[in-house]
Amino acid sequence: MFEKKVFLDSALILLKQTKEQPNMWIVFFAIAVFGLVIGSYIYGYYQTRDTYVRKHRDLTEAEKLAIREMERNGR
């Protein structure tokens, strides 16, 4: 009987501890790190996309001629 009561008491103590509010600093930093990871992923995606679009966009004939002229002059 004594062992059963000790077990129930320890179970109640554990139950009370889990109901307490978690440490808010841990939650805050977890959310901050998650936000930074997602934000840097999105930033990197758009930087890469903008570079790709800039390099592969359709050039006008005047731009193509200017590029050829610059390459011919060695610039």
CA distance 26 to 18: 15
pTM reported for the whole predicted model: 0.42
Residues 6 or more apart in contact with residue 65 via CB below 8 angstroms: none
Q: Tell me the pLDDT tens digit for each residue of 49-69.
A: 777 767 667 777 777 888 888
Q: What is the pLDDT of residues 9-31, one digit of tens each?
A: 776 676 665 555 567 778 889 99
Reported as type and span, the H/E element at residue 64 is helix 61-73
Q: How far is CA 11 from CA 6, 7, 18, 36, 72, in A?
A: 8, 6, 11, 39, 83
Domain ranges of the chain: 22-73
